[in-house]
Homo-oligomer: A and B are copies of this chain.
């Protein structure tokens, strides 16, 4: 009635028939969750009263479609909803908008899994190094890698470089900036990256190691690419980025820019999605999404430390990082947050050998000599 000039043949002719789907966990009784699932179909696509849609392709194919609705547990249901590839418009930003845009403002919905399908996968560069590429870089074939962070904020760039040297001497494989270091006056980006990259290189030469330094390039939108390429010039071995702050597409864009360095994803600012019942499941926000967006390693808050994720949450993240997924390389899960020497055994039991053991403050906790502490940590990781 409102769209007399609408020509259904045109819209229909533009639809490939390819669809991607998302599994949502819905909370409530069957009637509530069915109505919620129907609501998602409209809210994430046409955002319009369904009864007023022009007949044809829009209600048939542009509107989301409930593929299944199954009971998971009392008061918990899993709805698989499919969407036409075309509504994602070939853009990661719009893809995320379809997955969880407006329904991020609605209660009782958790995005749990994504089945992108071939058409959507084209949007994603995926990891370019992954586990094999990072292992090759640091020359460690089988054991978990020892990973730490330069901190605390307030040290000078020269102080950070001394720490970096000690870490390499102790056998740490990967040394990143703490995620809060950006371009503070205490240790400005340019000077910090130069000094720390130099320190790691020199110590590698002395000790015959192959450690890498991973500066944090999270930055204002108009400076991020510049920092990434500058870090590469200065000798960085990989790049750390916080997609919660920059948007996931900034990571995708960086990976697609062709910069020849692995990307490490950090979970800051995105935790709210993961730890509330309404949100985006940990395995998705900290596992699959970074992997699709081009991360080669995904840092996440481990269970049993100072963060609230459960062991199952964390195993789900590790699975999303490493399971077969089309042509995508597996990426390193990097459990972190409050890890101590005594945690390593349990981590190996949980994660096997293909993980990055990110130990920050914990390296300082186990004795007065930092180099010795690193050595002890490395020993627990095996050969």
**Does residue A48 face the partner (Cβ distance < 8 Å to B)?**
yes
Identical chains bound together, number: 2
Contact B308 A107 (CB under 8 A): yes
Q: Which residue of B lies closest to A14 (CB)?
A: B185
Q: How far is the CA of A14 from the CA of B7 in the complex (A)?
A: 65
Contact A105 B154 (CB under 8 A): no
Contact A11 B179 (CB under 8 A): no
Contact B52 A364 (CB under 8 A): yes
A245 CB contacts on chain B under 8 angstroms: 93, 96-97, 101, 247, 249
**Closest-CB distance, A306 to chain B (whole angstroms):** 8
Q: How far is the CA of A307 from the CA of B278 in the complex (A)?
A: 13
Q: How far is the CA of A53 from the CA of B153 in the complex (A)?
A: 10
**Does residue A159 face the partner (Cβ distance < 8 Å to B)?**
yes
Task: Out of B47, B94, B218, name the residue touching A93 (CB < 8 Å).
Answer: B218
Interface 1/0s, chain A 143-183, versus B by CB < 8 A?
00000010111111011001100000000000000111011
A252 CB contacts on chain B under 8 angstroms: 220-221
In the complex where A102-B271, A275-B278 touch, is A364 in contact with B246 (Cβ < 8 A)? no
Contact B185 A220 (CB under 8 A): no
Within residues 207 to 224 of chain A, which ones have a CB less than 8 A from any CB in chain B?
218-222, 224
Q: How far is the CA of A185 from the CA of B1 in the complex (A)?
A: 24
Within residues 133 to 151 of chain A, which ones have a CB less than 8 A from any CB in chain B?
149, 151
Interface 1/0s, chain A 68-87, versus B by CB < 8 A?
00000000000000000011
Contact A105 B151 (CB under 8 A): no
Q: How far is the CA of A160 from the CA of B224 in the complex (A)?
A: 36
A239 CB contacts on chain B under 8 angstroms: none
In the complex where A245-B97, A270-B104, A272-B273 touch, is A91 in contact with B221 (Cβ < 8 A)? no
Chain A residues in contact with chain B, CB under 8 A? 1-3, 5-7, 10-11, 14, 39, 43-49, 52-53, 57-58, 62, 86-87, 89-94, 96-98, 100-107, 149, 151-156, 158-159, 162-163, 178-180, 182-186, 218-222, 224, 242, 244-247, 249-250, 252-253, 257, 267-280, 301, 306-309, 337, 360-361, 364-365, 368, 370
Q: List 11 A-B contacts (CB under 8 A).
A: A5-B159, A10-B156, A11-B155, A47-B178, A62-B186, A96-B245, A96-B269, A103-B271, A104-B244, A104-B270, A276-B276
Extra A-B contacts (18), CB below 8 Å, given A46-B153, A86-B184, A87-B180: A1-B368, A39-B306, A48-B364, A49-B361, A49-B364, A52-B364, A62-B154, A86-B186, A93-B246, A96-B269, A97-B182, A97-B218, A101-B242, A104-B270, A105-B308, A107-B275, A222-B253, A247-B247
